[in-house]
Amino acid sequence: MTTIKDELANLKTDEQVYKYVRDFLINQNKKSENTNDGCAYRGEDGTKCAVGCLILDEFYSDEFEGGLPNERLGTRGKRIVEAICKSLPNWIFNISLLENVQEIHDNYEPYAWQYEFNRREEKYGWFTYHYYKNKENV
């Protein structure tokens, strides 16, 4: 039986990570939020956000909540990046991809996720950096 750890270790490309997060969110069909209705890496009801689903429990810390996975944002940001990299040891960290999928989780209701993923995939291919050069057109 394949474990989540095995699944994440097998993700090697941006496309694989993107599709993993897409499928995870669509199957979960619920935002991951805390009691203040803010996005949470780990929601109180066991849910995970777009980035949170890429962090194994063994590398997760409550201190991540409210932080962003960006090394330029200080110690907490670096720890989040490290947790992602440890959880996905065969993937080269890509902040643009994480921002893309997190934006869908945070800014759209679950009923619209499939549509939004499909729309972006049709417009830009599965994912491209073109999205960030032309973000105002999304």
Q: Report pLDDT digits (tens) over 85-138.
A: 999 999 999 988 898 899 999 999 999 999 999 988 887 776 554 444 444 444
pLDDT value at position 96? 86
138 within domain boundaries: no
Average pLDDT, whole number, for the chain? 87
Res 73 pLDDT > 70: no
Cβ-contact 89, 11 below 8 angstroms: no
Q: What is the pTM of this model?
A: 0.87
25 within domain boundaries: yes
Q: What domain range is 64 assigned to?
A: 4-132
Question: What's the whole-number mean pLDDT along residues 19-32?
Answer: 96
How many structural domains comprise the chain? 1
137 within domain boundaries: no
55 within domain boundaries: yes
In angstroms, what CA-CA distances link 9 with 25, 113, 137? 19, 25, 34
| Residue percentage of the chain with pLDDT more than 70 | 88
